[in-house]
Structure 1
Amino acid sequence: MKNFLPVTITKMSGAGNTFSLIDARKGSAWEDIEKHLGMTRANFAKLVCDRVLGVSTDGLLLIQSGGDGFDFVWDFYNNDGSTAEMCGNAARCAARFCYENLESSNPEKSTLKFKTGAGLVTAQILGDGKIRVRMPEARFIQERIELKTKSSSTEEFALVNTGVPHLVQKIHNIADATSLKEMAREARSHHDLRPSGANVTFYAEDSRGKIKAVTFERGVEDYTLACGTGAVAAALVYAKETSEKQVEVQMPGGLMQVVFLEGDSHPLMIGDAVFVGEFKYNLEVVG
């Protein structure tokens, strides 16, 4: 491994949700490096995302060559090496990364199509670091589900899928989520939701059309600063209750706007995507 150049990793943040991005297209430096890596992408993700031996991110996103109507294909891993079909914040970061780093030959192409585990995701560059993403279909799996937990007898949620499954619960004050972490940890892998489990998202109304939310994420196994699919999940449940078509969702790491279009089950999510830095990751740590 010492004969190979370090792999270039770009660290980005979407509302405080951080990702390591690698250009993994055909002909890239990564393509040669991976052949001699000696480990799976899942294990590499755990190393790269590590807070000591890595660049301390919530996930790893490898951008691969597109085709069949897609500009790019992505391969996404949480920081524990598990996979996720969709991540809204990663979608915004991927869009800006590809637009500014990989689409230099066509700078006027501001709409990009990604093939993800949840299907087609379309992102549009709005400028000033803002990205609008047409999310996967957002739907209710169960409008009301009760789960018995050790930490608090029975809890009631809405179970929705916004690219990945979310248990959503309305609470009085978002600060109350702190005391609900252990309940969320248990609900996230509840036996009634086997085998995949679900993220757990809490939300509280701030004012009409504005909510605050926080998500306990699978793979991270903790609250994250932001979760794009969690923002959409909370907005979906809130919109069902209030009939609001545009919902501002404030998460600990930043603000997102979710728009529900009439007759379209694919909501729009608008939020930021910022570059944190570029790293030359020394592969001696895996040698």
Structure 2
Amino acid sequence: MKPIPFFKMSGSGNDFIIIDNRAAVVPEDRLERLVVGACRRKMSVGADGLILIEPSDRVDFRWRFFNADGSLPDMCGNGARCAARFAFIHGIADRQMAFDTLAGTIEATVGEHGVRIRMTDPARLKTGFPLDLDGRTVMVGSVNTGVPHVVTVVDDIEAVDVVRTGRLIRFHPDFAPDGTNANFVADGPGGRLLIRTYERGVEDETLACGTGNVAAALILAHDRGLASPVSLTTRSGGQLTVHFTMKGDRCTDVFLEGDARVIYRGELWEEAWLT
């Protein structure tokens, strides 16, 4: 098999392998194996997910997004920003574009210093309900921002065992069978909002999660009366900004803004993903 050209990109620390698959360079019968193999840390390129850019007869392109474990989530906010910049760099789309995801059509604008995407309208916003975690009750909120998220406000962001508590939430019976992502938010110095996320499909803490930042911003805006926009500092130290319109429990006109960095480009050899 010929080596496959790819870009390695990062959105606030959430990293992705992105491949222009408009000419079907990725073998379909080996796709899941390639995704899981290429996303392995230290053994291959390593990434939180892999994105295929593919043709669309309706919008600029469509994507297929895969988590590192090979699963297919409906949406990824950081990945969407990276996909948009990739498409602009490669002449697939202009600065203003639209592309199809499993969550619906995403609109994006590529700027000089970042990318802004219009999210699909969030659903099922619910706040202030109890969740039993190993015999203790924790008050949480939840919302679907393309994928399901739970948000918990904590006193000390550094004291949270994100992996252990995140897994308890991710696999909690209340969110079965598909599970959920888990976010932890705290007030930081200078009025900053700090966030850490356990991501479903990566099954670990990631340095950032775009849809998780959107979920946290909307739940905090609902509970605290915060006005749009709301910015949060991710684990990587990067900032993601969420713009929205909120009326009661209904959120519309939701935009996510942040960086989309090219780390490097290369060719993926078959031995990089074979076990």
Q: Structure 2: state its 5+ residue gaps.
A: none
Deviation string, structure 1 residues 204-227 (Cα, Å, up to 9, x no partner)? 123787411111000111111000
Q: Structure 1: state its 5+ residue gaps.
A: none
Query: Which of 125, 132, 155 is the equivalent residue of 2:110?
Result: 125
Count of paired positions: 269
Match of 2:241? 257
Amino acid at match of 1:77: F
Query: Which of 77, 81, 84 is the equivalent residue of 1:88?
Result: 77
Q: CA RMSD in A?
A: 2.0
- How much has 1:262 moved relative to structure 2? 5.9
Amino acid at match of 2:217: A
Match of 1:190? 172
Deviation string, structure 1 residues 112-138 (Cα, Å, up to 9, x no partner)? 11100110111101112x001111212
Deviation string, structure 1 residues 181-215 (Cα, Å, up to 9, x no partner)? 31221110111111111000011123787411111
What is the TM-score of this pair, normalised by structure 2? 0.91
Amino acid at match of 1:157: V
Deviation string, structure 1 residues 241-275 (Cα, Å, up to 9, x no partner)? 22221111100121111111367613111100000
- Structure 1: how far apart are the matches of 2:252 and 2:69? 31
Match of 2:11? 14
Match of 1:206? 188
Pair 1:33–1:18, CA change in 2 (3 A): closer
Match of 2:34? 44
**Is 1:269 matched up with 2:256?**
yes
- Structure 2: how far apart are the matches of 1:182 and 1:5? 41
Deviation string, structure 1 residues 87-126 (Cα, Å, up to 9, x no partner)? 00001100000001133xx7xx211111001101111011
Pair 1:246–1:275, CA change in 2 (3 A): same
* 1:12 and 1:276 in contact (8 A); partners too: yes
Tell me the SS of whatever aligns to 2:245.
coil
Match of 1:240? 222
Match of 2:45? 55
Match of 1:156? 139
Tell me the SS of whatever aligns to 2:56.
strand
Tell me the SS of whatever aligns to 2:151.
strand
Tell me the SS of whatever aligns to 1:67.
coil
- Structure 2: how far apart are the matches of 1:53 and 1:228? 26
- How much has 1:65 moved relative to structure 2? 0.6
- Structure 2: how far apart are the matches of 1:154 and 1:42? 38
Tell me the SS of whatever aligns to 1:127.
coil
- How much has 1:33 moved relative to structure 2? 4.6
- How much has 1:146 moved relative to structure 2? 2.4
- Structure 2: how far apart are the matches of 1:209 and 1:71? 40
What is the TM-score of this pair, normalised by structure 1? 0.87
Match of 2:155? 172
Deviation string, structure 1 residues 138-173 (Cα, Å, up to 9, x no partner)? 2344323322222x5222211111111101011112
